[in-house]
Amino acid sequence: MKQVLLLCAAAVILTTVGLPDAMAGKRQGLQVSLVPSVQVFSESSEVSGVRINIIGSNLSMRGADLGLVNLTDQVFIGAGFGIANSVKTDALGLQVGGYNYAGTMRGVQCGAYNKALTLNGVQIGLVNHSVENNLLQAGLVNVANNREGWQIGVMNFNTDVNATLPGMIFVNGSF
């Protein structure tokens, strides 16, 4: 019981120490959220540390993102673990979840469905989708356009209208 109280006190101190910075829109070390309208710091805040949530939404996130639904409007750098991870613009690091999305992904996406507009990294999942694939997709179904990388899976598709082979089984590659 004593350890739980100390942990709660530490969480309260970490979240309230930065309260004036939150009002000014600066970065926060710890974000705790039930839903975006019920979270310690506003959605326009930047988190640099840990975000723990059920549904969390912030301007940017740097660090560990732990929740059911993790939403980031701008830059994400770190590791996101949740049922759904979504980064509207640039993601650098790791996304692990049922559904992962990033505008530009530099790193690894692991999940049932992974989507990146630009992939400079690896997607591992049941279905992987990227507009531009610059490294590797490994899954049951892989879909890419303007592909300059490898696809390993049961069905691999290149949706580029100039593609020599728009679909291949097991392996598909281009450089």
The overall pTM is greater than 0.85 = no
pLDDT in tens, 11-43: 444 444 444 444 445 668 888 888 888 888 888
Residue range 89-97: mean pLDDT, rounded: 97
Closest among 98, 94, 62 to 82, alpha carbons compared: 98
Q: Where are the domains of the chain?
A: 1-74, 105-175
**Each residue's pLDDT tens digit, 134-143:** 889 999 999 9
- DSSP structure class, residue 80: E
- Paired tokens of 91: 């993601």
Q: Nearest Cα to 81, choosing from 89, 93, 90?
A: 93
